[in-house]
Structure 1
C-alpha cells in the first residue's frame, strides 16, 4: 500500500504540494465559510438570548422599582415573629397618630365591628385572624400600643407601635389575617402553619439594608437621596434571597432566622441621632412580600444595637431584661423539639448571657436541639475573626455555650460563609464521617459554628488569607447565599446555597443523636 506523504502544518503535500494546497484552500474556504455561517447563527441566537435575558432582567428591575416606589414611604408594614412556641405568632406594626378608615377593606371592617364594635372603632388598632379565606372561627385581637418615640416622617406624622400575640394555632392549617394599619383594615393575607414536630427553617446572614449609602454624616437631603437608592438595591437582593430560599424549601419553611444587622444605620450615625432616618431601611427589610407569611426571628447586630426603634418593629417573645441594649434584650422561643436562644451580643456582659441561657434551658430541658444565635461570629473565617473584640468574645462565650451543651451556633457579622469543625475548647472534637459530599456527626461532643454570608449582596468581606485551624469549610464569591436547616427527632441537617443559581456552596452537614 502506497503511503501518503506527510502533511506539514500549512497543509502542503510533497511534490504535489501546490495542487494539494489549492485543494486544501478550497476545502478551507468551504470549511471557514461554514464555520462563519455557524458562528453567525450562534452569535445572532446569542444576541437574541442576551437581549431576551437583559429584557427579562430589565422587566424584573422595573417591576421591583415600581413595587418599591409604592411601599418605600409606608411605615405601617407588619412584621411576623415566631411566638413563644409553635402554636403562637407575634405581630408588630406602626400606625400614624392621625388615623382614618378611608382605605379599610369593607368585609374585614364589617367582621371586626360584628365581633367587637368598641375594638373596631379604630381607637385601638386590632388584628383579625381566622381559618381559610372565609375566616372561620375568626378572632379579634386588640393591640398593645405605645408611642414610637422619636419617630417622625417627612410629613411631620408621628407614630405608635402595636403588638399582638395570636395563640391557639394548629399545625398544617391555612389562616388569613387582616390588621388595622391606621387607614383601616387591610385586605386579608394568608399565613400557613407547617408541621410542629419535624420542620425546616431558613438561616440568612446580614441583610444590612442600606449599606452602600456613602453619604453618612452629610446634609439630610443628600443623605436621604443616596440612602433611598441604596435601600432599594439591597431590599431587592434581600427579596431575591427569600424567594430563592422559599422555592428551595417548596414553601415549607416554618420561619427564617436573620443573623443580625437587619439595617445599615445605627442611631449613632443618623443625622442628629434621629432614628427617623433609618426607618426607610426597616421598610426595606420588611418589604419582601413573603415576609407577610414567613415569621422572621431577628438577632441584634452591631448596626442594630443602639436603635430604640428596633423593638418598635419586632415583637420578640420571652424577652429578658438580661443582655439588654437600647434595641432589645436576650430572648428565646421553642419550635417542635428545638430551643432557639437569641443572644444580644451587643451587650458584652457574658455573665448576663450565662444567666439567661441557664434559666432558659431549665425551663425547656426537654428540647432536643439547642441552637444559639449571636451576631458576632466567634469562630468565623473573614477579616473580623482576628479582631481583639471577637477573640475576647470567643474566649468568654465558648465555655458558657459548651457548659450548656449547645449543639449549633448561628452567626453573621463577617459577610462571608464559613463552617467550623466540631469544636470543644476551640479544638476539633469529632472529625465526622465524610462520604459523597456529606459529613455526619453521630452523637457529637462539641459545637458546630455556622457563619452566614451576605443575604442581600449589600456588602462582602474577604476571607482571611490563611484558613484558621478551626475551620472545616468556607466560601466567598461575592454572591448572596442562605442555609436551609431541617430538624427531625434525631437529626439536624444543614445545606447552604447560592441565591442566584441554587448551587450548593458546601457539603451537607448532619448532626445525629441516638
Structure 2
C-alpha cells in the first residue's frame, strides 16, 4: 500500500529536507561574466537573442546518447539540435551542412517560457563534437562536447546541494558554484559527466516571493557546464512546481515509480511534477536515480529490480537520491530520515547495490560498509576488497550556499567512518574501472582532498538481479525482456501443465526464441504484450489442444501471427515430435515424464547443446523413441535415479545415468558432468519445487550457455558448494521468480 499519509506529512516538512537530484545541467553562455538569458543565443544573422537560455544536456540511456533541454520564448517553433564533428568547423562558423539534426518536443515551462527536449543519438567514444540548439531559425551559440574513451575506465564529478538562493543572496551562491565548477573541471578535464544529488536551486522558499528562474539562471551560470552532461534528480526544495522537470530531460524514466506530486500523493496513471525514478548505463555502471521525495521504499525497489534485470551485464550498481540515509548534521534525527534509515538500506542490500550517493544534510559523511544496519568494515579502512554491505556517501554543499553543523563532532556514530564540516564548498571525483570504485572529495579553497575511499572487486559475484512478475506468466515475459530485444519466433507452452513443456528448451534454442507461458483457455495478457514487443511473426505451440486450447491459437492468429503446433498423442509422443525438429543431435537426454524435476535439471544444458529431451514413463521407452535414438546415433543419457527411470531403460539405450539422491543433487550432478561446456560468467537460480520459472529461464540460459541451479527450501549445501566453487568466474547471478520461489535469505546464504 502506498504511504500516502507519510508523504503528506513529508510535504509539510519539505522546506528543509526532501531527496534531491543527481545531475547538473549545461549552460550555453559563452561568457560567464554576463547575463545568462541575454547571451546564450544568436540569430542566423549573428544578432544577440534572449530567446534561448538554461541549456543543459544529460546522459542518455547509454553512452551513445545525450538528452538536451533548454528554455525558449513561447513563440519559438519545434525544437531541434544540430551536432557536428568539431573537425568540420571552419573558424567560428557552425558546419550546418555536415551536421546531424535531431528533433524533439516542447512543453510549457516556468514564467511563460517553453521547455524544449531533444535526444541526440549515435555519438561515438573519444570524439570532439560541436552543437547548437534552436528551432531552425534562431540558434544558440556554438558549444563543444567531447565524448570520453570509456573502454577501460571513466570518471565523473559529484556535487551536493548547490541550492542557489539558499543564503538569501543568489549572486553570492552563484559565484561559489561557478568557482567550484571551474576548479573541478580544470583538475578533472576528462570527466564524463556531472552528477548532482539534488537541491540544485532553493525554489524561492527562503526568498519572499522570489521566482526560482533567477536561481536556475545561477545554477546554469558556470561556463564549463555547457561542455559536460549533467545528471540530476529533484531535492526537497524542488519537490513542488514544474521547474525541475522542465529544466531536465531524463532517460529511461519510470511511469510508475518515484512519483511525487505537489500534494504529496502519487498516481500510477500520471507523472509527478518533479520527475520519477530513472536510470542510465554508462560504461560498466548502472546509475539508478531515485526521487526520494517519494518515501515508499517498495516503489524504489520495484524500479531498481526492473533496471537491474534490463542490464544484467554491468559491473557496478550505484543508486543516488537526495535524502541522506546515514549523515551527521541537522537532518540526522529528522523523522522522515529515520524512517528511510529503517526501510531503504534493506532494499539496497537485497539488490546488491554497491554505493548510495546522497546529499540533503549539508555536511560530508562517509559510512562504513553497512550490513543489516551495522558496520561491516574496519574503523580506519580507506580501501576494502570484496566487501560485504553497501557504502553510503553524503555530500556537503558544492556552492557554499548553506552548511549545517555536525551534531556530535567529537564522537563517531555507529555508521560514521568519516565526517567533515569545514564550511568550505566541496566536490568529489569518482573513478570507475571494472575492478575498482574510488571516490575522492576535495575542498575548493586549497583543492586538497579531505577523504578518499576505494572498493576493489576481485570477483563480481555481487552482481545479483531478480527477474520476477506478479505470476509465472509475467515472470516468463520479464525473462524474455531481459534477453531479447526482438524475435521472429516464440515458443508457447502451458503454464499449468509441465509434461509437454519439458521438451521445449532445446527446440527454443534452435529457433533463438524465448519460452512464454499461457493458460489453457486464454492467452495471458503479459504474454500477449511480450509477443507484440518482440514483433513475433511465428509462435510454436508445444502440446495438444488439451493443454493449449484452440482459443489460444485463435487469439494468436487474430494478432496476425503464424501458429505452428507441435504435439503427439501423449507427453511421450510430444517429446519425440519436438525432438524431430532438431537436426542431427549428438546427444539425447531421457527423463521421467511423470515429474518435472529431472527434465528441468538438464534443460539448460540440453538447450545450449541442442540436445533433445525425451520422456519416459519410467518403465520403458516406445519403439519410436528407441528407433529415433538409433537412427541419429546419438550418445544417450538418462537423468534421474532408478526410482524414477528403471535400469531396463538405461540398458535398452546403452545410456549413461546421471543422478543424485534427490532432484537437487541430480541437478548438481548434471551441472558437474557438463561443467566444461558452460560459460560460467552467468548463473541462473530457480526453484526446484515448480517448473515454470526454471523452464522459461532455461531458454535464456541456453542463449548465454549458462547453467540453471535448482534451489530448494532447505538442503542447500550442494548448490552452495557448486556456486561458491564457480564464483571467481561469475559475472552475473540471476534469480528467476519472486521471493516466494527463491527467497532473498536463501540467496544470501548461497553467496556467503
- Bin the TM-score by the shorter chain: 0.7 to 0.9
The alpha carbon displacement at 1:433 in A equals 8.0
RMSD: 2.2
Q: Structure 1 510/203 Cα, relative in aligned 2: closer, same or farther at 3 Å?
A: same
2:202 counterpart of 1:259: no
Q: Is the 8 A contact 2:292 2:321 kept in 1?
A: yes
Q: Structure 1 510/137 Cα, relative in aligned 2: closer, same or farther at 3 Å?
A: farther
Alignment of 1:478-489 (within 5 A): 478-489=423-434
Q: Is the 8 A contact 1:145 1:160 kept in 2?
A: yes
- TM-score, normalised to structure 2, is 0.51
Q: Distance in 2 between matches of 1:97 and 1:245?
A: 35
The corresponding residue for 2:613 is none
The corresponding residue for 2:55 is 78
SS in 1 for 2:451: coil
Alignment of 1:97-246 (within 5 A): 97-99=74-76, 123-134=77-88, 135=95, 137-148=98-109, 151-152=110-111, 158-180=112-134, 184-197=138-151, 198-213=153-168, 230-246=169-185
Mean CA deviation greater in 70-79 or 160-169: 70-79
The alpha carbon displacement at 1:264 in A equals 0.4
Alignment of 1:275-424 (within 5 A): 277-321=211-255, 322-325=257-260, 326-424=273-371
Q: Distance in 1 between matches of 2:343 and 2:365?
A: 21
The alpha carbon displacement at 1:270 in A equals 8.0
The alpha carbon displacement at 1:509 in A equals 2.9
* Consecutive unaligned residues in structure 1, runs of 5 or more: 1-62, 100-122, 153-157, 214-229
2:398 counterpart of 1:455: yes
Q: Is the 8 A contact 1:76 1:181 kept in 2?
A: no
Q: Is the 8 A contact 1:64 1:236 kept in 2?
A: no
Q: Distance in 1 between matches of 2:136 and 2:398?
A: 32
Q: Distance in 2 between matches of 1:483 and 1:192?
A: 21
The corresponding residue for 1:440 is 383
Q: Is the 8 A contact 2:324 2:358 kept in 1?
A: yes
- TM-score, normalised to structure 1, is 0.73
Q: Distance in 2 between matches of 1:85 and 1:140?
A: 19
Q: Structure 1 138/241 Cα, relative in aligned 2: closer, same or farther at 3 Å?
A: same
The corresponding residue for 2:604 is none
1:469 to 414, 427, 430: 414
Q: Please list every run of at least 4 consecutive aligned residues from structure 1 whose deviation after the TM superposition is greater than 6 angstroms.
A: 72-75, 268-272
The alpha carbon displacement at 1:64 in A equals 6.2
Q: Distance in 1 between matches of 2:98 and 2:313?
A: 32
The alpha carbon displacement at 1:306 in A equals 1.2
Q: Distance in 2 between matches of 1:180 and 1:333?
A: 26
Q: Structure 1 167/286 Cα, relative in aligned 2: closer, same or farther at 3 Å?
A: same
The alpha carbon displacement at 1:146 in A equals 1.8
Q: Is the 8 A contact 1:416 1:451 kept in 2?
A: yes
The alpha carbon displacement at 1:440 in A equals 1.6
1:493 to 438, 443, 465: 438
Q: Distance in 1 between matches of 2:248 and 2:448?
A: 32
Q: Distance in 1 between matches of 2:86 and 2:39?
A: 27
1:478-511 per-residue CA deviation (whole Å, 9 max, x = no partner) reads 0000110000111111111111111111134333
The alpha carbon displacement at 1:65 in A equals 5.4
Q: Is the 8 A contact 2:52 2:140 kept in 1?
A: no
Mean CA deviation greater in 182-191 or 196-205: 182-191
Q: Structure 1 441/283 Cα, relative in aligned 2: closer, same or farther at 3 Å?
A: same
Q: Distance in 2 between matches of 1:182 and 1:238?
A: 32
The alpha carbon displacement at 1:269 in A equals 7.3
Alignment of 1:38-117 (within 5 A): 66=34, 76-99=53-76
Q: Is the 8 A contact 2:54 2:216 kept in 1?
A: no
Q: Structure 1 91/401 Cα, relative in aligned 2: closer, same or farther at 3 Å?
A: same
Q: Is the 8 A contact 1:74 1:283 kept in 2?
A: no
Q: Distance in 2 between matches of 1:467 and 1:183?
A: 59
Q: Structure 1 76/70 Cα, relative in aligned 2: closer, same or farther at 3 Å?
A: closer
The alpha carbon displacement at 1:423 in A equals 0.8
Q: Structure 1 75/184 Cα, relative in aligned 2: closer, same or farther at 3 Å?
A: closer
Q: Structure 1 173/97 Cα, relative in aligned 2: closer, same or farther at 3 Å?
A: same
The alpha carbon displacement at 1:318 in A equals 0.7
